[in-house]
Amino acid sequence: MRISLIVAIYKDLEALKLIIDSLRQQDYSNFELVVAEDNNDPSISNYLKTVTDIDILHTTQDDIGIRKARSINNAIIKSTGDYLIFIDGDCIPYRSFISSHAKLAEKGYVLSGRRVNLGPRISSLIRHGHLKASTIEKFFLLSTTILMLDGATHLGQGLYFNPDNLAHRKIISKRKNSNVSLLGCNFSCFKKDMLAIDGFDESYMGESCLADDTDLQWRFEAYGAKSKSCKMAANIFHLHHGARPHQPIDGKAEMLKMLSRKANQEYRSKTGISSHQSHID
């Protein structure tokens, strides 16, 4: 199965290089990287031109405020895979990340993953090349004390179980109290299902997380797709970082907008892929 890994980035070439290094180590080869840049930075495009051992597509747009949903829709349009995986540009995948999504992919389902939030010191060491994320992955249990002392959170999401193993199939994937709500930094779906809901809804303003996950969750469900966990299989490390400058928004108004659409089961985006000139029919 051909997979498109869509990475949403904004002015963080350092982290993008780390992601690409991790993709060179993946145990699944039939994939392409689609870099969804919410900006048009020449340093990003110049670097990507030097990467010749990974299939890469790159989309850009003018930086006129946070338009992450539109940027990801650009990438969906350009992607060529049958299956889409979404991560943020400050998240480093485990070696088994893509293969785990592929193994757990199922028609009629959206896969929901989680992340380990790394602390500031460990993140800095990784960013500056003094420590490899793959080393933490390899010795994760031995590293947990150091990670905790640095302020890392959600460490349980760093434990890896092969989806083919009995432990994952019979215990982890069957947990009744497992939260399967979508996080925009780690989820996947078949491309045809994403096109059916017309992609991410660009009508939500600014840095609202609604378009990233909350809105997607109910729209997939209204369309008929169910959620399924890929925790402790499709694992990623989230690098610590400061906040991106953002424009003030009326969060209550955005939420009311979403609830109104949800009540009417309007699962197709108000402003989505079909609003782009080069949209996929």
Tell me the pTM: 0.94
Residue 272 domain-assigned (yes or no):
no
Residue 271 domain-assigned (yes or no):
no
Residue 277 domain-assigned (yes or no):
no
CB 218 within 8 A of CB 148: no
Residue 60 domain-assigned (yes or no):
yes
CB 147 within 8 A of CB 122: yes
In a 13 Å sphere around the CA of 121, the CA atoms on its Cβ side amount to 7
Rg of the chain in Å (alpha carbons): 18
Residue 273 domain-assigned (yes or no):
no
Residue 275 domain-assigned (yes or no):
no
Domain hosting 51: range is 3-265
d(CA 161, CA 174): 14
Residue 270 domain-assigned (yes or no):
no
Residue 232 domain-assigned (yes or no):
yes
How many domains does the chain divide into?
1
d(CA 224, CA 232): 25
Neighbours of 144 (CB within 10 A): 17
Give the domain CATH number at 228.
3.90.550.10
Question: pLDDT at position 47, please?
Answer: 98
Residues of the chain with pLDDT under 50: none
